Structure 1
Amino acid sequence: MIGLATDHDVQFILARAKDSANEGVLQQNVISQDQALQMVWLILEQGGYYFVYRNVDQSVAGWILVGENIDHITNQPHAFIFELYVLPAYRNHGIAKHLLHAAITYGKKRGYNEIRLNVFANNFAKKIYQHLGFQDFQTIMAKKL
């Protein structure tokens, strides 16, 4: 069900980079396909991996992009979830939880002591993360000018 993405899978995922990125920031069409691809390619070039969730027919239902990040205060590396996306037709079936468990396993196997991710405060996915033991780590605040 979950495995490393093949080259074909990565092409499938990258064709949907804009959708995933815009949903992640809770807005529509603020991130272009080119911008989304630039963000993803940087992560992949730095050793990031896509894991995919496959349906029984082997089609991709969702994916998670994990890699390494550095805490700029402590200078310590940690595993990091850069992207999590489940195609709309497959949501509410526990796929995100399976993908998150794969990312956690990835981090443990590589010897990291921590795995992190960014999520917007009002993103519905925050409840999933909290259910799996993720805790608020820092808060970024904004004020419109």
Structure 2
Amino acid sequence: MTVRKATQRETQKILQHSEKVMEEATMGYVKPQKDKAYQMVLSYFDEGGFYLVYAKNNNIQGWIGIGRAMDSFADEMVGLIFEIFVLPKYRKQGIAEKLFFEAFEYLKEEGCKIVQLNVFAENPAKHLYQKLGFREISTIMERQL
């Protein structure tokens, strides 16, 4: 098992999953569109973001997208998790936690004191995030008109 920075080729393979990642992450709230999902991820890359991959025998089983962003409320640079995904056949094996811990170490080395992520309300992964120490700091609400 290895957690390491994704190569350019691996990043391209990961991006092929963007539509599925968007579908799962948004819990059906956002209609998955490959181009839209792809563009959202590329915007993080433009700001220096990248993927860490969990690989066994060079077979990628999961990944986490990390970067940094300015938190305008706290007026400081924070670590950012923009994506976490474990391929379905490798779930429930602790891979996501391993990816998070590696991301935390990397972001800490980069001088970040806080790491943030966005999660949709009904996403079952929210329990994992809470287990890892994340807490809610904001809620977006909407109403149909």
Q: Greater CA deviation, 132-141 or 67-76?
A: 67-76
Mapping 1:18-29, distance limit 5 Å: 18-27=19-28
**Partners of 2:118 and 2:50 in 1: how far apart?**
17
**Partners of 1:139 and 1:36 in 2: how far apart?**
22
1:29 and 1:139, CA in 2 relative to 1: closer, same or farther beyond 3 A?
closer
Where structure 2 has 5 or more consecutive residues not aligned to the other structure, the ranges are none
Give the match's secondary structure for 1:26: coil
**Partners of 1:144 and 1:5 in 2: how far apart?**
41
Match of 1:121 in 2: 121
TM superposition shift of 1:73: 2.3
**Partners of 1:14 and 1:99 in 2: how far apart?**
18
Q: What amino acid maps onto 1:43 in structure 2?
A: Y
Q: What amino acid maps onto 1:40 in structure 2?
A: V
Match of 1:16 in 2: 17
Paired-residue identity, %? 38
TM-score by length of 1: 0.94
TM superposition shift of 1:76: 1.3
**Partners of 2:74 and 2:133 in 1: how far apart?**
22
CA RMSD of aligned residues (A): 1.3
Give the match's secondary structure for 2:133: coil
TM superposition shift of 1:77: 1.1
TM-score by length of 2: 0.94
Where structure 1 has 5 or more consecutive residues not aligned to the other structure, the ranges are none
The answer (yes or no) to whether the contact 2:78–2:114 under 8 Å persists in 1 is yes
The answer (yes or no) to whether the contact 2:54–2:99 under 8 Å persists in 1 is yes
Q: What amino acid maps onto 2:90 in structure 1?
A: Y
Match of 1:40 in 2: 41
**Partners of 2:128 and 2:36 in 1: how far apart?**
27
**Partners of 1:101 and 1:94 in 2: how far apart?**
11
